[in-house]
Amino acid sequence: MEVPLAIKRAATASKRVDQTDRPAAADGSSRKILRALLAFSTDRPRHSAESLSEQIGVPLSSTYRYIGILREADLIDEDGRGSFVLAPRVIGLAQAARAGTDLASIARPFMKRVSQEVGETIILLRRSADRAVCIERAESSSRIRLTFEVGTALPLHRGAGPKMLLAHMPEAECETILDDAVRRDPGFAPHRRLLVRELAMIREQGWSESRAEITPHVYAVSVPIRDSNGVIAAISFVTPAFRTPKASQIKLREHLQHAATDISKAYAAVSL
């Protein structure tokens, strides 16, 4: 397949970069390459070069260079219609990540127990760069239930679990995430101050909730998983809003808090 002219030009230009500038440039490029990879999700499984350029905030010529690197690593493929999709190799990486995530293995039995107790889907989220990624789930046994795929990546400024993670990030990192959120989602800008106040409340009360912030008619509540360094993950219920009146919301939260305490203790025991 012929290499796009933009990639050739970008590669030629990169050879002219002064040696003293390469460490910083490489670091910045690596971050943008990762952001390009994380732009793919179940909601956006396909991207054109133009949409990737917009997502990661770099010129189209640089985006083509990153696409070339990801294709060379067999992480993305062309779909034959001018767009790019994740390559099959990523499935293996996701499975390896799940198998190697001690926290997910430790949390799994507790998640299954509490999911069976209340009949709702429960998910475990960890931060990866500027996304909250589902690393484990326990599905509801109800006939009407929500499914949530392991590996799903969510923005950190929407949803109960992502907001829990965002609330416990260092202030400077949180501001950077919110700056990026405004750039990518201009409709979020008027709500930024309100979210900052909500994050402070989340830290104070120890739990977060959301209503239809990611999926219509869905209620979610989340509590933190902690280790000696602070919050490392968020455990959440996601459930149809019609079956969560106030009393049910309190019940869900209490069950979740007990499970989070058990998971945190179990994780601490194997992390010593």
User: Which two structure tokens, joined as six digits, stand for 157?
Assistant: 């400024």
User: Which two structure tokens, joined as six digits, stand for 225?
Assistant: 């998983």
Same domain as 232, residue 97:
yes
- DSSP letters of 162-228? HHHHHHTS-HHHHHHHHHHHHHH-GGGGGGHHHHHHHHHHHHHHS-EEEESSSSTTEEEEEEEEEET
Measure the CA–CA gap between 240 and 146, rounded to whole angstroms. 7
Same domain as 97, residue 75:
no
Same domain as 143, residue 243:
yes
Same domain as 213, residue 260:
yes
The pTM of the full predicted model, rounded to 2 decimals, is: 0.66
Number of domains in the chain: 2
Owning domain of residue 198: 93-271
Same domain as 132, residue 193:
yes
User: Which two structure tokens, joined as six digits, stand for 156?
Assistant: 């950190």
pLDDT in single tens digits along all 272 residues of the chain: 444 444 344 444 444 434 444 444 445 678 888 888 888 877 788 999 999 999 888 999 999 999 999 999 889 999 878 899 988 877 767 665 655 558 999 999 999 999 998 888 999 999 988 889 999 999 877 766 666 788 888 899 999 999 999 999 999 999 999 999 998 888 899 999 999 999 999 999 999 999 999 888 899 999 999 998 899 999 999 888 888 788 888 888 999 999 999 999 998 887 65
Same domain as 233, residue 137:
yes
Helices (runs of H) and strands (runs of E) counted in the chain: 10, 9
Measure the CA–CA gap between 12 and 27, rounded to whole angstroms. 19
Domain finish residue from 87, 118, 143: 87
* Residue whose C-alpha is closest to residue 148's, from 128, 162, 133: 133
